[in-house]
């Protein structure tokens, strides 16, 4: 089976030509795929019946299979997809009161970076996703929204995996989000744990895509303990690469700081962060830890979060608390997959309940 979403317009025209069809049909099909966003070949009503039959026999619309789907009281939808080779990945759709509809997508099955508090890091690395597999996660949500007359407006690369460890496919997906789904660069955010050479490369792409760097600690000793990648790319190199990105893109970037009670939430650590980022055009997103099975820590209490942000204000650094959405449905990175796998170990079968 040929996945139609894996073809360029040119490749689609070549395929149709090889079937004895006129090349202009490719544009017609393209409109159904990416503008009308239909989920079935039968919906392509202006195609000749014979062509539709051949498409049905030899092609498919996407390779992702929904394994489990959970929706949260706060309007968050979480999906576990099974890929063609059986790998499981997660995507989340977040709906806000305004028009915003944000997809959070994965770039790898598992992750090789081993951040201690992250459910995906705790699983280890399985494989890279292809550009099409990354792109399709957003496209599937866009298709579902289309049925309700809504549009996918934003995409964040904050699901499973490290986008810059899978650089080319990630960039391919970013470009297709812009060209095929019409999502503006400013509505796309790529989050990285801090792979310095790739941050520099990304700065040279000339895209207006938002960059987020997961910092979580402001001294090398503390960051080494949470994010093993820091031993390879220590803070001074990371911040210097971020400075380059800000200069070249002209954009403000953001830093992610997962607040872990008693671990990285003291006023001293907030001062260290303030000094580290002073003068950089940036924003800090503070996210209370979503506890995971493989890590002892817990989220900071609200008083400590407020105190942390107040210190950053002294340094002129804007900071916002991001409450993790879909907590009741394991919407943290990698958590639905761990929950499903754990449950399978205990009892096989039965739909996973939200916990
Ligand atoms: N690999 C990339 C993107 C995916 S993770 C990265 O690390 O940036 C997206 C964000 O979720 C990162 O900032 C990551 O540190 C954070 N995160 C991972 N596990 C978390 C948890 N259990 N609680 C809160 N944030 C978590
Ligand atoms: Fe990988 Fe990001 Fe999780 Fe670290 S936080 S293990 S880089 S997915």
Higher-confidence residue of 131 and 327: namely 131
Active site residue 10: no
The answer to whether the CB of 161 is under 6 A from ligand 2 is yes
Does pTM surpass 0.85? yes
Distance between CA 200 and CA 244 in Å, rounded?
A: 7
Q: Which of 91, 118, 238 has most ligand 1 atoms within 8 Å of its beta carbon, as the pocket-test mutant?
A: 118
Calculate the average pLDDT of the chain. Answer: 92
216 burial class (0-12, 13-18, 19+ CB within 10 angstroms)? buried
pLDDT at 345: 42
Q: Which two tokens stand for residue 110?
A: 């598992």
Q: Which two tokens stand for residue 24?
A: 């202009």
Using the atom order of ligand 1, give the atom closest to the CA of residue 214: 13
Question: Domains in the chain and their CATH numbers?
Answer: 2-60 (1.10.150.530), 65-344 (3.20.20.70)
Q: Is pLDDT of 340 > 80?
A: no
Q: Is pLDDT of 346 > 50?
A: no
Q: What is the pLDDT of residues 324-336, one digit of tens each?
A: 666 565 555 566 6
Q: Which two tokens stand for residue 112?
A: 């090789």
Containing 305, the helix (H) or strand (E) segment is helix 302-314
Q: Is pLDDT of 349 > 70?
A: no
Contacts of 90 (CB under 8 A, 6+ apart): 78, 79, 80, 81, 106, 159, 160, 333, 334, 336, 337
pLDDT at 327: 57
pLDDT at 352: 32
How do beta strands 154-157 and 125-128 pair? Answer: unpaired
Using the atom order of ligand 2, give the atom closest to the CA of residue 119: 3
Distance between CA 122 and CA 14 in Å, rounded?
A: 44
Q: Residue 261 — pLDDT band, cuts 50, 70, 90?
A: very high
Distance between CA 131 and CA 138 in Å, rounded?
A: 12
The residue whose CA is least distant from atom 4 of ligand 2 is: 115
Q: How far is CA 90 from CA 80, 198, 227, 295, in A?
A: 5, 24, 22, 20
Using the atom order of ligand 1, give the atom closest to the CA of residue 191: 8
The answer to whether the CB of 68 is under 6 A from ligand 2 is no
Q: Residue 279 — pLDDT band, cuts 50, 70, 90?
A: very high
Higher-confidence residue of 342 and 175: namely 175
Treating both helix axes as pointing N-terminal to C-terminal, what angle do 235-249 and 267-277 enclose, rounded to 10 degrees?
A: 50
Using the atom order of ligand 2, give the atom closest to the CA of residue 161: 8
Coarse DSSP helix, strand, coil percentages of the chain, rounded to the nearest 5 percent: 45, 20, 35
Choose, from 67, 90, 256, 263, the residue flagged as catalytic: 90
Distance between CA 55 and CA 4 in Å, rounded?
A: 9
Q: How far is CA 246 from CA 100, 153, 241, 251, in A?
A: 26, 24, 9, 5
pLDDT at 351: 33
Q: What is the pLDDT of residues 44-91, one digit of tens each?
A: 999 999 999 999 999 999 999 999 999 888 889 999 999 999 999 999
CA 174 to ligand 2 centroid distance, Å: 19
Q: Which ligand places an atom closest to the C-alpha of 199?
A: 1
Choose, from 111, 115, 118, 333, the residue flagged as catalytic: 333
Active site residue 90: yes
Q: Residue 96 — pLDDT band, cuts 50, 70, 90?
A: confident
Q: Which ligand places an atom closest to the C-alpha of 104?
A: 1
Q: Which ligand places an atom closest to the C-alpha of 289?
A: 1
CA 85 to ligand 2 centroid distance, Å: 22
Q: Is pLDDT of 355 > 90?
A: no
- Residues in contact with ligand 1 by the CB-under-6-Å rule are 115, 117-118, 158, 162, 191-193, 214, 256, 258, 287, 289-290, 292, 332-333
The residue whose CA is least distant from atom 8 of ligand 2 is: 161
Long-range contacts of 235-241 (CB under 8 A, 24+ apart): 235/276, 237/196, 238/194, 238/196, 238/199, 238/213, 239/276, 239/277, 239/280, 241/196, 241/199, 241/200, 241/203
Q: Which two tokens stand for residue 289?
A: 């830890």
b/e burial code for range 108-132 (CB count within 10 A of at least 16 → b): bbbbbbebbbbbbbbbebbebbbbb
Q: Residue 97 — pLDDT band, cuts 50, 70, 90?
A: confident
Helix, coil or strand: residue 231: helix
Q: Which residues pair with 81 in a beta bridge?
A: 66, 89
């Amino acid at each position: 089976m040929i996945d139609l979403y894996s073809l360029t317009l040119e490749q689609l025209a070549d395929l149709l030509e090889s079937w004895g069809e006129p090349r202009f049909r490719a544009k017609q099909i393209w409109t159904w795929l990416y503008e009308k966003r239909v989920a079935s070949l039968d919906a392509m009503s202006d195609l000749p019946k014979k062509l539709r039959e051949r498409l049905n026999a030899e092609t498919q619309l996407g390779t992702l299979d929904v394994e489990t789907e959970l929706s949260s009281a706060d309007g968050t939808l979480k999906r576990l997809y099974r890929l063609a080779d059986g790998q499981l990945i997660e995507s989340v759709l977040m709906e806000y009161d305004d028009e915003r509809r944000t997809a959070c997508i994965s770039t790898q099955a598992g992750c090789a970076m081993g951040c201690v508090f992250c459910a995906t890091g705790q699983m280890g690395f399985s494989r890279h996703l292809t550009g099409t597999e990354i792109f399709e996660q957003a496209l599937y949500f866009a298709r579902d929204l289309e049925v309700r007359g809504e549009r996918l407006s934003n995409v964040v690369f904050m699901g499973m995996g490290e986008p810059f460890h899978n650089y080319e496919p990630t960039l391919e997906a970013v470009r297709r989000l812009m060209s095929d789904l019409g999502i503006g660069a400013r509505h796309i955010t790529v989050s990285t744990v801090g792979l310095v050479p790739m941050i520099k490369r990304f700065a040279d792409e000339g895209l207006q895509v938002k960059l987020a760097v997961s910092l979580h600690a402001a001294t090398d000793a503390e960051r080494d303990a949470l994010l093993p990648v820091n031993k390879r790319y220590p803070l001074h190199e990371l911040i210097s690469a971020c400075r380059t990105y800000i200069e070249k893109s002209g954009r403000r970037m953001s830093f992610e700081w997962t607040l872990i009670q008693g671990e990285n939430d003291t006023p001293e650590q907030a001062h260290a962060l303030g000094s580290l980022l002073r003068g950089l055009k940036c924003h800090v997103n503070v996210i209370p830890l979503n506890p995971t099975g493989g890590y002892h820590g817990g989220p900071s209490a609200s008083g400590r979060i407020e105190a942390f942000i107040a210190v950053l204000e002294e340094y002129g650094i804007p900071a916002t608390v991001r409450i993790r959405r879909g907590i009741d449905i394991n919407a943290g990175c990698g958590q639905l997959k761990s929950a499903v796998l754990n449950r399978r170990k205990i009892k096989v079968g039965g739909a996973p309940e939200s916990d």
